[in-house]
A = this chain, B = another copy of it.
Amino acid sequence: MKQRKVTLGEVAQVAGVSRATVSLVVRKSPLVADHTRQKVEQVLVDLDYVHDIGAARLRNNSSRTIGVIVPNLVNSFFTEFLSGVEQMMSEDDRVVLLANSDDDLTRQSQILQRFRGHGVDGVILCPAEGTDPQLPLRMRQWGLPLVQSLREVGDNATDYAGADYIKGVQLAVGHLVEHGHRQIAFLSVSARTSARVERLEGFSRAIAGTKAQNAGIVEAELSWEGAAQSAAKVLALQGTPSAVLCFNDVLAAGLMLGLRRAGREPGRDIAVVGLDDLPLAELTFPPMTSVAMCPERIGAAAARLLARRLQSPDAPVERSVVAPSLMIRESSNLSVS
């Protein structure tokens, strides 16, 4: 039943040439004469030959395989990112080894070892929370090309593709201020992650450049339930906000549910803006204004960076930051005087 694998040698024998020649044909080398190439190619398809990339890698050190590590496969932000990576790699005839670190350092390093063992050509890593800043250095010592993405550790010595949350928050705040909002609150997560820091910092900075005021910061668990429960806290804020900017779309959606439970209609009584613009932003009621971070494009960018690095290992480090754009929908279409 299970038929033996067809090897270069067998093809060579049938075609009446040497193994080396067949190898050249398979790799589309220009060195081989036209009529030989045709003859060999014919045999190749006749025998249903499959190029064994693993064996090739053993000799030439290129597996056409890259590893991707994400901290999460449930959040669609990361899966869209992944989709971008996969698509770009696939165009380049490379293959993606996927792993989910679950934001766990132990798992992350196990995965890296596994990837090393599988001989990946390079890794796209979204570092787990708390990753040792030395990691990029260690990976360089291993000779394992690294592109960091979405998050970053170490001293900017690796390629990086990411989102500009500072700018994103600024867009959102600008939009709200334009509509006359002067008291804007921020619904944050409680976990002390770098993502949180970036967004909060962006918020203070953005607010500082406008006529509006920071109406207060409320912390919630990173879940819609958490956000819904925090609605009361938001409404009780000293600053009595007319608008709330949220850490991400899930919190924003949860907050809208909570606000409504408390008798306030989001989009009419109070503006709500999310960050990320996940597909769900269009499906809430009212449809949610959010800042599109385009994770898919970030993924594609990361893939491009890695491809470039593999081609020219000594190229200067490059950073690629995808510009966010504001998607205005109905959750923020009230104006206040």
A residues neighboring B (CB under 8 Å) = 1-3, 50-55, 57-58, 63, 65, 73-74, 76, 79-80, 82-83, 86-87, 90, 93, 95-100, 107, 111, 113-119, 140-143, 224, 250, 253-254, 256-257, 260, 279-280, 282-285, 287
Q: Name A1's contact: one of B95, B116, B117, B141 (CB within 8 Å).
A: B141
Select from chain B the residue with minimum beta-carbon distance to A5.
B143
B282 touches A285 (CB 8 A): no
Q: Considering the chains assembled together, what is the distance between the CA atoms of A143 and B3 in angstroms?
A: 7
A118 touches B53 (CB 8 A): yes
B100 touches A98 (CB 8 A): no
Which 4 residue pairs across A and B have the least CB separation, nearest first?
A: A2-B143, A73-B83, A285-B285, A253-B283
B53 touches A119 (CB 8 A): yes
* Chain B residues, Cβ within 8 Å of A55: 58
Q: Name A86's contact: one of B2, B73, B284 (CB within 8 Å).
A: B73
Q: Name A95's contact: one of B2, B114, B253, B283 (CB within 8 Å).
A: B114
Select from chain B the residue with minimum beta-carbon distance to A250.
B283
Q: Considering the chains assembled together, what is the distance between the CA atoms of A222 and B255 in angstroms?
A: 28
